[in-house]
Amino acid sequence: MKAINIQITGMSCDHCAQNAEDALNALDGVSASVSFAKGMATVETQDHIDTSQLLKAIEAKGYGATLVNSDDDMTTSDSSNGMHVAIVGTGSGAFAAALKAVEQGATVSIIEGADIIGGTCVNVGCVPSKIFIRGAHIAHLQGHHNFNGLPLNTPNIDRRAMVDQQQEWVEKLRYAKYENILKSNPSINLLRGMARFKDASTLVVRKSDDNETEIHADRILLAVGAHAAIPDIEGLKDTPYWTSTEALITESVPEHLIVLGASVVALELAQAFRHLGAEVTILARSTLLSKEDSDIGQGLVQVFEDEGIKIMLSTLADSVTHDGQVFSLKTNHGKVKGDQLLIATGRMPNTAALDLDKAGVKTDMRGSIIIDDHLRSSTENIYAAGDCTNQPQYVYVAAAAGTRAAINMMGGDATLDLSVMPAVVFTNPQVGTVGLTELQAKNQGLDVDSRKLDVENVPRALANMDTRGFIKLVAEKESGRIVGCQVLANEAGEIIQTAALAISNRMTIQELANQLFPYLTMVEGLKLTAQTFSKDVKQLSCCAG
């Protein structure tokens, strides 16, 4: 006789454990007991029993099965093609990779150290923030619109009710897009615990009870995400500051919110809290959205100031104190006081605890894993995707990277081209960008020209009675090929994808100008901007071709 332990995933109750136990005991020469609490089967078998039979019996009941040998090492069932892929993380990149790897015949061990799965986007990022921003915008519109006959109203904000609804949707989406996928894919085995490398092919997983398990894998994908970067400012760590995580679930609206930061998260949340009635001050190290075309930042300054947000450009905080009620920031432009402080100064990769040096995986100065266009790290069998890498921190980039990484781990040859990557900032008006700015194009040696069309020339903006912003196109002078687009306008997030398709398909300004665009849409502004390269659109009649 020999004793075998099998880790079982996907069980949700004692009845599940009984099902797995019955499946094992139905095999000749097997005596088994299954613990739901431990997620483990203890099996005694005759020596001639093939362990793969045990794993298949459990998998046939819809659960994941991983063999734990006498050394407490894990070897996953090779009931498909023998390829075992280990994935650290359970966000969008991780799940995209897991599904693609399983589709191609692999068995996947997916490892999560947090209490919940799903990563940043669904839990504390894209999903809750966009729900919050939308609710705040609706509150703002009630008291700020230009339509006659519709009385203005300042709503009474029930922040707790907003958060409750927001988190209900978070839970629904997490279940639909992550938890339910695990239940329906027995070839994806979820392991709980913090992972670190023992060597390039072995991960050590420390569970909540401090027991450790070793996992050997043919390929490993790191998709561990990132966390809020906290600047080294005197006194800051001793104060109850917010990151975006706390800001999104706060059940009250501060009287005066100080926002440290001037990039995407900082600006989206600053405006949302202003729309709920808070006084807001933004402290920007340089300008707003400093990595974008300068017209974008200048336009947002005007928008925010018109809404009553105070903007302090080129401002650095030297120290922070909190007296129990008020934050006080000493800056190079004087003291700034408020009852709440939001730190939104970027995000740092969650790579410090992985012991990457033991696997030979190289990182940059920030700790981001350096990968190539095939998502390969410096170690041949180790790949990475998402916010823990040196790629742009967008959820759709992470998902695309995860899918391509899985293809390559399974022997394919997929690349991720980020040269035409649309990006959106969900302020109001929105910011949409894709391709090169005029300055970037010139720095690359391109001879380019650009045109900027104020949104007041777009008929739909006039009908909306909201003419804030502009659309800008950048094109090569000689060929007319479009190489970049920057938009500050309502629905910029919808507009920018059309520009991305134009750039991806190497369209010229004239070809875009000749396209048919439906009248009274914001995206028609792209056509009008293209027309400005050869004519004065102010002299055109409505929907002139």
**Catalytic site residue from 74, 121, 162, 409:** 121
Q: Is 355 left (phi over 0), alpha (psi -120 to 50) or beta?
A: left
The DSSP result for 527-538, as a single string, is HHHHHTTTS-GG
At residue 2, the 3 state secondary structure works out as: strand
Written in H, E and C, the secondary structure of 50-70 is CHHHHHHHHHCCCCEEEEECC
Nearest to 471 by CA among 511, 513, 409, 516: 513
Would you call 383 a catalytic residue per the annotation?
no
Separation in Å, CA 95 to CA 8, 101, 120, 325, 368: 19, 10, 13, 42, 20
Residue burial 441-452, b: 16+ Cβ < 10 Å; e: rest: beeeebebebbb
540 DSSP assignment: S
- 400 burial type by CB count under 10 A (0-12 exposed, 13-18 middle, 19+ buried): buried
User: CB neighbours (10 Å) of residue 306?
Assistant: 9
At residue 196, the 3 state secondary structure works out as: strand
Would you call 388 a catalytic residue per the annotation?
no
**Catalytic site residue from 16, 40, 194, 348:** 16
**Catalytic site residue from 1, 312, 522, 542:** 542
C-alpha span between 481 and 282 (Å, rounded):
38
Would you call 507 a catalytic residue per the annotation?
no
The residues with which 73 forms a beta bridge, in sequence order, are 214
Residue 83, C-beta contacts closer than 8 angstroms, at least 6 positions apart: 101, 105, 106, 107, 218, 219, 409, 410
Would you call 13 a catalytic residue per the annotation?
yes
**Catalytic site residue from 40, 126, 194, 312:** 126
At residue 271, the 3 state secondary structure works out as: helix
**Catalytic site residue from 40, 194, 312, 543:** 543
Contact indicator for 458, 452 with CB cutoff of 8 Å? no
Contact indicator for 448, 441 with CB cutoff of 8 Å? yes
Residue 306, C-beta contacts closer than 8 angstroms, at least 6 positions apart: none
Nearest to 421 by CA among 438, 439, 433, 431: 433
Would you call 121 a catalytic residue per the annotation?
yes
Written in H, E and C, the secondary structure of 275-289 is HCCCEEEEECCCCCC
**Catalytic site residue from 1, 13, 365, 465:** 13
Residue 377, C-beta contacts closer than 8 angstroms, at least 6 positions apart: 222, 361, 362, 369, 370, 371, 383, 384
Would you call 485 a catalytic residue per the annotation?
no
Token digits for 296? 């974008």
**Catalytic site residue from 1, 40, 63, 175:** 63
Would you call 40 a catalytic residue per the annotation?
no
With vertex at residue 399, the alpha carbon angle to CA 294 and CA 108, rounded to the nearest 5 degrees, is 155
The residues with which 488 forms a beta bridge, in sequence order, are 431, 470
At residue 433, the 3 state secondary structure works out as: strand
**Cα torsion at 374, 380, 385, 387 (round to 10°)?**
-120
Active site residues: 11, 13, 16, 63, 121, 126, 542-543
